[in-house]
Amino acid sequence: MRSVIDVPDLTLGELDRLMDTAEDIIARPDQYSELCHGKKLATLFFEPSTRTRLSFEAAMYELGGHVLSVTGAGTSSAAKGESVADTAKTVSCYADIIAMRHPKEGAALVAANNASVPVINAGDGGHCHPTQTLADLLTIRREKGRLDHLTVGLCGDLKFGRTVHSLITAMSRYEGLQFVLISPDELKIPGYVEKDCLKKKDIPYTQTTSLEQVIGDLDILYMTRVQRERFFNEEDYLRLKDSYILTPEKMKKGRPDLCVMHPLPRVNEISVAVDDDPRACYFKQVLNGKYMRMALILMLLKEAGRI
Ligand code: CP
């Protein structure tokens, strides 16, 4: 059974086709409104979410399907000690496809190995978040007209920010990319992303602590929240949480065609005064996420022979 747990589960060709499908959904939504008639998506969210859960649910409704939802570990039998494996086997009896978010790295893979329906990882701990990457890729392709030959700055919590790990993994497959990694020393990207992705593929990257010094070099600036929930020590979080705040003043140093992204939710990383800047693309990302999740649900249900 085909599931999507991490970005490499999708080939470059499949990413292109998903983006093409999303574009077609945007252009001709009526053609898609009954394709999942009678089918059910289960959203199992054992961690907080606004965008990912609601966009999966909106996606399934806009495809004509139905949604079953678990929100919070406390409202399901996980609170009684049920394993992820047993939960996946159980939910497979009710739903045609599962989207799952879990605080533990690897939980979605365990679910996929035990489910008899496709499982989509909607974020597993500090590991990865492949469907956010689908939203990010469509946003970049729509805003810049390409996914290659770009200078991409990633700023903030690069250690715990799972969207960063997935985006680097995805974009490192395109030609002519270079990354500028902007973070405090304590929040640099994990060694496995640096070694297995950037170094292994010989992708140019620089690391810096200064956003101001590099913002003028960037095509994309991907801001991230410092992930309070992954810190062991509240003091460290309080010390690091406001390391980077993007303001209209700093935006003056950015290129006229800079694309500013953020997976959201934001706390302080982007001043609300930046929202009116035409280079602010983060709410477009939110909408693009719904279309890409529609495209992914369709792809997986077709492959599973369920539509
Ligand atoms: N980007 C993202 O994953 O947002 P939520 O946590 O609100 O789902």
Predicted confidence (pLDDT) at residue 6 exceeds the cutoff of 80: yes
Mean pLDDT (whole number) for 160-166: 93
For each of the domains in the chain, give its residue range(s) and CATH number, in order of start.
7-129+286-303 (3.40.50.1370), 130-284 (3.40.50.1370)
Rounded CA separation 256/229 (Å): 35
Q: What does the pLDDT look like over 173-199, one tens digit per residue?
A: 999 999 999 999 999 999 999 999 999
* pLDDT for 230: 81
Average pLDDT taken over every residue of the chain? 96
Question: Which helix H or strand E contains 70, and what residues bound it?
Answer: strand 66-71
Label residue 158 by pLDDT band (50, 70, 90): very high
Q: What does the pLDDT look like over 205-241, one tens digit per residue?
A: 999 999 999 999 999 999 999 988 888 788 888 888 9
3-state class percentages of the chain: helix first, strand second, coil last, to nearest 5:
45, 15, 35
The closest-lying atom of ligand 1 relative to the alpha carbon of residue 263 is 1
Please state whether the peptide bond connecting residue 103 to the residue before it is cis, i.e. omega within 30 degrees of 0.
Answer: no
Q: Which residues does 284 contact at the CB level (< 8 Å), separation at least 6?
A: 139, 142, 143
> Hey, what are 130's tokens?
């492949």
Q: What does the pLDDT look like over 39-52, one tens digit per residue?
A: 999 999 999 999 99
* pLDDT for 25: 98
Residue with tokens 């009526």: 30
**pTM: predicted TM-score of the whole model, two decimal places:** 0.96
Ligand 1 site residues (CB inside 6 A) read 49-52, 123, 132, 263-265
User: 140 alpha carbon to ligand 1 midpoint, in Å?
Assistant: 18
User: 202 alpha carbon to ligand 1 midpoint, in Å?
Assistant: 31
Residue having the nearest C-alpha atom to atom 3 of ligand 1: 52
Mean pLDDT (whole number) for 119-130: 95
Label residue 255 by pLDDT band (50, 70, 90): very high
* pLDDT for 102: 96
How buried is residue 143: exposed, middle or buried, by Cβ count under 10 Å (0-12/13-18/19+)?
buried
* pLDDT for 240: 85
Rounded CA separation 265/149 (Å): 28
Task: Report, as residue numbers or ranges, the catalytic residues.
Answer: 51-52, 80, 101, 129
Q: What does the pLDDT look like over 49-89, one tens digit per residue?
A: 999 999 999 999 999 999 999 987 788 899 899 999 999 99
Rounded CA separation 187/230 (Å): 12
* pLDDT for 107: 98
